[in-house]
Amino acid sequence: MDTNPSNAPHYTLLPDHPLLAGQLARPRRPLKGFAVILASVIFLLLLVALISNQGQEPTLPSLPNKDARPLQSFSKSEPRGVAQGVSAKSNPSFFNDKLSYNWTNAMFSWQRTAYHFQPQKNWMNDPDAPLYRLGWYHLFYQYNPDSAVWGNITWGHAVSRDLIHWLYLPLALIPDSWFDIAGAWTGSATLLPDGQVVILYTGDTNNSVQVQNLAYPANLSDPLLLHWVKYSGNPVLIPPTWLAPKDFRDPTTAWVGPDGKWRLTIGSKVNKTGIAIVYQTSDFTKYELLEGFLHAVPGTGMWECVDFYPVAVNGSLGLDTSANGPGIKHVLKASLDDTKKDHYALGTYDPISNKWTPDNPKMDVGIGLRLDYGWYYASKTFFDQNKQRRILWGWINETDTESDDLQKGWASVQTIPRTVLYDNKTGANILQWPVEEVESLRVNSTEFEEVIVEPGTVVPLHIGTATQLDIFAEFEVELLGSEAVEDNSSCSDGAVDRSTVGPFGLLVLADDSLSELTPIYFRPTNASDGSLKTYFCADESRSSLANDVFKKYYGNEVPVLDGETLSMRVLVDHSIVESFAQGGRTVITSRIYPTKAIYGAARLFLFNNATGVNVKATIKIWQLKSANIHPYPLDQL
């Protein structure tokens, strides 16, 4: 690093006047024009201009009107959001050489999910400030009320009694002040002991500086929390002088330190080192930057949407964010701006030194485990005090083109909320599992017991419509030869890559002719040292006949302990597939766009593409109803 935070001031004072925030902008040199007089002296004039320009004193850029909204634009070579200082919100590089598919309105209509949360229309990204209060679950989210592409980011708001059926509410936070005029970005909520609710969120200022702002409910007796007040002294935090003004965002839920003061962490970077810094406060308006870093990992780049929370080593309950002590591990998670992946690690938090230490440095944040190995980003948890559980939300972005999103009128979905627990069997990972409330959508079920799937075969599962499903599947393997051949395959070659013992699993959202299909599968491998590894994978390469959608292989190794049967749970909801292996040790979210395997033409199959094993499968499948997601009848209040 070329900075020394320990020698820098621990806290940068807030400006006395809003326009002073412009002093954080980077200086530029003015340019002078010269008239060309004679061709014979062009070289001399250019030389004079160069010398003159180098002698100029740097000046700050002129400040716009403090209430003016900066224009948001992007080039086709650069994704949306990058110029504004956030992670990419479009995928232009995927489709430069692709011809647009002839999509129909029926295809677009089918892509919309039935029981995942998404707005009625337009763009959505990160989940924000989830909380439970007075009988209602609240979900805020990054939202563009004007279009199905990223921009003009406000806070959408919805409430639910059960995390499944949702009611849309009016916008909660609108970018209308100098300290968030370019976007009201991601933030978190903290519930205080006196019943107050505080939200800290990142604002992008009129000078493209990322600052942290405070908001709170206008009426605490309102269970819907319809109206929010922005603190008159915003911003409450501006970037330390040793951080770039566009690398300071996404404050976490606060926790209580040993001195009784609240602490929160914010992600950033120093050069290529991803960092989490910690502030403490007594009143959420004045802050002290604690010395050093909560944690830092070289080479991981910008950390955004940092999450930090405790998990119990034993037991089946979640913990309040302030819990610490014996029998507790802490999860540190960061969304890596460079890779657009959510990484986490387990470790120990020392509140005295304000340091978090990973249990396994080889599996540190950004270089080890991921929350989800599919299309998933910007996740956030909260403690549900109603049912004593920790719940995880995550954003599923689109992988089609912006023109398609504009045509269908919406973009992005939130995952099914998941519970998070420590895996006390492996001691090396967390377990993610869909909240139990999703089971309320189950209707008729179908069971298949001990179905034999021979090598190189596909077996249809006759269940009727296969677009809204909850599937449990277990697999046993019978080796046909004397021994398995050494195999170092993983997920990287897809489900067509055959070996002695794999791959095998399910084909979801397939049509009768198998021209479109998405395999969700296990791939056991025999390493050269004699050990057996198992990979859990999803193959999107044949999920759609369309060329202008992103189709990739996803997955990773999943721990399988002695005596355990290979098992998966798969939630299918139109264009979203969420897959959980071994009780949620490895999770994959798939974003797919079939053209044929839709509506009544969608089918479900078992497959075994191994060359040397029979697979015996036992499966239970539920059809799922649609969730009720619609505007709240405010006229009835």
The catalytic residue positions are 126
Q: Which residue from 507, 489, 510 is spatially nearest to 617, judged by alpha carbons? A: 507
Question: Which neighbouring-strand residues pair with 159?
Answer: 138, 167
Alpha helical stretches, state H, 18-176? 42-54, 105-111
| Distance separating the N- and C-terminal Cα atoms of the chain | 56
Count of residues in the chain: 637
Instruction: Please tell me the distance from the alpha carbon of residue 156 to that of residue 144, in angstroms, as a whole number.
Output: 8
For residue 330, the one-letter residue type is H
DSSP-based three-state secondary structure for 544: coil
For residue 162, the SS3 value is coil
How many Cα atoms sit within 13 Å of 614 on the Cβ side?
8
Whole-angstrom distance, CA of residue 53 vs CA of residue 28: 12
> 418, 392 in Cβ contact below 8 A?
yes
The pair of three-digit structure tokens given for residue 231, joined into one six-digit string: 């603190």
Listed residue (598, 608, 364) closest to 477, CA to CA: 608
Q: Which long-range contacts (CB under 8 A, 24 or more apart) does 528-537 make?
A: 528/486, 528/488, 533/557, 534/558, 534/560, 534/566, 535/489, 535/490, 535/491, 536/491, 536/568, 536/579, 536/581, 536/582, 536/586, 536/588, 537/490, 537/491, 537/494, 537/495, 537/503, 537/588
The neighbouring-strand residues paired with 166 are 160, 629
- Residue type present at position 546: A
- Preceding amide of 559 cis, omega within 30: no
Q: Residue 8 corresponds to which amino acid?
A: A
Q: How far apart are CA 333 and CA 356, in angstroms?
A: 12
Measured CA to CA in angstroms, residue 518 lies from 13, 372, 544 at distances of 54, 17, 9
**Which residues lie across from 276 on neighbouring strands?**
267, 295
CA–CA dist 484, 533 (Å, integer): 13
Instruction: Write the single-letter amino acid at 269.
Output: K
Cα–Cα distance list, 425 to 264, 314, 422, 431, 530 (Å): 31, 10, 9, 10, 23
For tokens 């519970």, name the residue. 419
Cβ atoms of 603 and 510 closer than 8 Å: yes
Q: Give the H or E element holding residue 392.
A: strand 389-396
Cβ-Cβ contacts under 8 Å for 69 (sequence gap 6 or more): 152, 175, 181, 182
d(CA 313, CA 310) in angstroms, rounded, equals 9
Rounded Cα–Cα distance for residues 450 and 169 (Å): 48
Query: Considering Cα of 114, then 119, then 123, then 129, what sign does the dihedral take?
Result: negative
